[in-house]
Amino acid sequence: MLIEAALERAEHVDVVVCDLEGQWPPAGERAGWLAEVHPTATVHAVADICGWHSPDPCPPGCSPAWARHLAGLGLGPWDLVVSSEDYGVLFAEALGAEHVMVDRERVGVPTSGTAIRADLAAGWRWLHPIVRRGLTRKVVVVGAESTGTTTLARDLADALGGPYVAEFGRAHSEVLAARFGSIDDVVWTAEDFAVIADNQEASERAALEVWAADDDVVLGPAGPWLVCDTDLLATAVWHERYLGGPTRELVERALAGERRPDLYVLTLPKGVPFEQDGLRDGEHLRDWMTERFREVLDESGVEWIEVAGSREERVAEVATLRSIPPVRSPGSNWRFGTPRTAPRATLGKVATPVAEAP
């Protein structure tokens, strides 16, 4: 709302995102979300100088300190400050700018950043879908054939309240088996695995986008999670199984960027009878595949666990978060970082007085 109000009044809008070490989500990610939501604004991630007193409110001296801090970074000058807080007045004075108060009583948007940080589930509906996508963590379930991978992934999605992404490779295997007469006669090619990888990624993106756009989603106690039945890392293992060697390109794609998994779950064959459904290689390969998954997961650098036992025990092991790490990256907290008490105003540059600005 603040950025939109500033864009209505100013020819150029700067948005300052405060960066304090140890906060999650990191300032760079938050700035990226805002830039995607508001492509005509200029978003800056700036070191937060108010960490020394956080979470206590800013004393009066913070506003002039922030004015000097921003000037020292080469930002400004500004004609207009848009905020929904009383400290916006002091900040505008320190900048020599005019202040516009927007929705101070929280009528238009009956929440605040502080409230959302305190209770993400309650504030979820007020977040932009791009921000929801960014806040959603990903767990990928992998395993050898007939070890309960798909069952666990579906059960986890139900338990965590997040979207489920099915394995595309199985559908592709069915097509190939029909074409060649049986799965044993299929001649696998590198192109097959490229098709599987591309469609697996596309399915994941689509599932997350549709889910994040739904205002009626109710988050579970574990927060927002995307649950995937396999991914490109697992596809690389199957590439090795059928073509005799791994593909580094698939591994790098699986672990790169914002869709890098937060957790892998490896299903073990122990206690799970092998069921031949016409598409599987055979029980004799389960131990080899399981050990290969362990090796690849160790090399990935991503947190991973392995689960055995009954269907209920497996779900409980993961869904209760006894195994899911509470952090997205080293040193960051799953809970939102300490509320920023530095000015969160939106700055605007106008060529004419505010009252006459378009």
CATH of the domain at 256: 3.40.50.300
Check residue 282 and give its pLDDT: 59
Q: How confident is the model at residue 78 (pLDDT cuts 50, 70, 90)?
A: very high
Place of tokens 């997961």: 297
**Which range is least confidently modeled, 2-16, 108-122, 289-303, 317-331?**
317-331
Residues 254 and 311 in one domain: yes
Both 308 and 164 in one domain: the answer is yes
Write the CATH number for 90. 3.40.50.620
Could you tell me if 11 and 70 lie in one domain? yes
Residue 146 or 119, more confident: 119
Q: Is the pLDDT confidence value at 279 over 80?
A: no
Both 171 and 200 in one domain: the answer is yes
328 in any annotated domain: no
- Strand-pairing partners, residue 19, are 47
Q: How many domains does the chain have?
A: 2
SS3 6: helix
What's the rounded Cα separation, in Å, for the pair 323 and 155?
16
Claim to verify: residue 308 and residue 352 sit in the same structural domain: no
Q: Where does the chain have alpha helices with state H?
A: 2-9, 27-37, 62-72, 87-95, 113-118, 120-123, 129-135, 149-160, 168-180, 190-212, 232-243, 248-255, 286-300, 311-319
**SS3 state at 192:** helix
- Torsion of Cα atoms, 288 then 146 then 182 then 204, to 10°: -100
Mean pLDDT, residues 308-336: 62
- Provide mean pLDDT across the span 139-154: 92
Query: What letter would DSSP give residue 358?
Result: -
Examine residue 281 and state whether it is found in any structural domain, yes or no: yes
- Answer whether residue 195 is part of any domain: yes
Assess whether 265 and 169 both reside in one domain.
yes
- Residue 246: half-sphere exposure toward Cβ, Cα within 13 Å: 15
**Residue 278 to residue 136: CA distance in whole angstroms:** 36
pLDDT score of 5 more than 80: yes
Q: How many CB atoms lie within 10 A of CB 104?
A: 11
276 lies in some domain? yes
Domain, as residue range, for 256 = 136-319
**Residue 59 shares a structural domain with residue 200:** no
Question: Does position 221 have pLDDT exceeding 70, yes or no?
Answer: yes
Q: Are residues 146 and 58 in the same domain?
A: no
Are residues 148 and 224 located together in one domain of the fold? yes
pLDDT of amino acid 58 = 87
* pLDDT, mean of residues 62-87: 94
Tens-digit pLDDT profile for residues 151-166: 999 999 999 999 999 9
Strands in 225-229's sheet, in edge-to-edge order, are 164-165, 225-229, 137-143, 263-267, 304-307
Question: How many H helices and E strands in the chain?
Answer: 14, 10
Q: Which pLDDT score is estimated for 341? A: 35
For 329-357, the pLDDT digits (tens) are 333 333 444 333 333 445 655 432 233 22
Task: Check whether 27 has a pLDDT greater than 70.
Answer: yes
Please, what is the average pLDDT of the chain?
A: 85
Whether 285 and 179 share a structural domain: yes
Residues 142 and 107 both lie in one domain:
no
**For residues 319, 152, 314 and 302, what is the CA-based torsion angle, rounded to 10 degrees?**
-70
| Percent of the chain predicted with pLDDT > 90 | 54
Tell me whether residue 202 is in a domain. Answer: yes
pLDDT of residue 72: 96
Check whether 327 has a pLDDT greater than 70.
no
Q: Contact at 8 Å (CB) between 138 and 205?
A: no
Per the model's pLDDT, the better-predicted residue between 23 and 84 turns out to be 84
Cα-atom radius of gyration of the chain, to the nearest Å?
25
